[in-house]
């Protein structure tokens, strides 16, 4: 089970990374900075926050508190990322830090205690914490991108009206064990 946990967690993180990228690809450069209200975050701001969190949490994951002294969380909500390249650069830097740390873990690490803001978590708990946090924000990215793309939006899941056909295809296959992301991520 523990080895399966690490593999499953990695696949789930990769899935949410892909969803975010697919959402971001459907908006213009200007739309990356659009805010529905003055109090709302833009796509670029959400990416900046996610990247800041990832870099803080996953740098020296096993040996340093996940809230690094160099992190300035409040600045993550400043709207100062210039263009798409800078937004996507932040996005990629955060995810690469996460995957490097995750790929360095072994089954033996899962019960180790790490700290986030001086609060102890098992490695499993810390991974689960981030598996709740990042999809929350990726959902925001998808929602904002979909609002802006309008009728041009390309569904990231089963398009409306296609559920019966999708299920028929799935149930036409023999029962098997697979991770839900395998076909989406090409594995």
Q: What percent of the chain has pLDDT over 70?
A: 97
CATH of the domain at 140: 1.20.120.450
**45 belongs to a structural domain:** yes
Q: 78-101: per-residue pLDDT in tens?
A: 988 889 999 999 999 999 999 999
**175 belongs to a structural domain:** no
Q: Where in the sequence is the domain holding 139, given as residue range(s)?
A: 2-157
Report DSSP state, residue 159: P
pLDDT in the model for residue 166: 86
pLDDT for residue 187 is more than 60? no
**77 belongs to a structural domain:** yes
Q: Residue 94 has which token pair?
A: 């955060």
How many domains are there within the chain?
A: 1
pLDDT in the model for residue 113: 98
Distance CA 6, CA 26 (A): 31
pLDDT in the model for residue 17: 98
Q: Indicate the average pLDDT of the chain.
A: 94
pLDDT in the model for residue 28: 96
pLDDT for residue 156 is more than 50? yes
Average pLDDT over residues 67-86: 93
Range of weakest confidence among 3-12, 16-25, 83-92, 100-109 = 3-12
**166 belongs to a structural domain:** no
pLDDT in the model for residue 3: 58
Average pLDDT over residues 148-153: 95
Distance CA 110, CA 103 (A): 13
In 10 A of CB 72, how many CB atoms? 11
pLDDT for residue 117 is more than 80? yes
**180 belongs to a structural domain:** no
pLDDT in the model for residue 178: 82
Burial readout 93-112 (b: 16 or more C-beta within 10 A, e: otherwise): ebbebbbebbeebeeebbee
**142 belongs to a structural domain:** yes
**177 belongs to a structural domain:** no
pLDDT in the model for residue 27: 97
Cα atoms in the 13 Å half-sphere on the side-chain side of 71: 23
Helix, coil or strand: residue 111: coil
pLDDT for residue 2 is more than 50? no
Where is pLDDT greater, at 181 or 68?
68
**165 belongs to a structural domain:** no
pLDDT for residue 115 is more than 90? yes
pLDDT for residue 1 is more than 50? no
Distance CA 160, CA 100 (A): 37
């Amino acid at each position: 089970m523990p080895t399966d946990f690490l593999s499953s967690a990695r696949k789930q993180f990769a899935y949410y990374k892909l969803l975010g990228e697919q959402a971001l690809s459907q908006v213009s450069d200007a739309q990356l900075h659009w805010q529905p209200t003055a109090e709302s975050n833009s796509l670029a701001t959400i990416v900046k926050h996610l990247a800041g969190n990832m870099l803080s949490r996953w740098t020296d994951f096993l040996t340093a508190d996940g809230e690094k002294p160099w992190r300035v969380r409040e600045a993550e909500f400043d709207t100062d990322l210039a263009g798409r390249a800078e937004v996507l650069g932040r996005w990629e830097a955060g995810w690469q830090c996460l995957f490097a740390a995750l790929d360095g873990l072994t089954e033996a690490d899962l019960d180790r205690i790490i700290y986030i803001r001086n609060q102890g978590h098992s490695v499993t708990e810390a991974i689960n914490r981030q598996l709740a946090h990042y999809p929350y924000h990726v959902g925001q990215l998808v929602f904002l991108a979909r609002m802006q793309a309008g009728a041009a939006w390309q569904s990231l899941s089963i398009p409306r009206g296609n559920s019966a056909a999708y299920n028929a295809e799935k149930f036409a296959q023999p029962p098997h064990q697979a991770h839900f992301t395998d076909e989406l991520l090409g594995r």
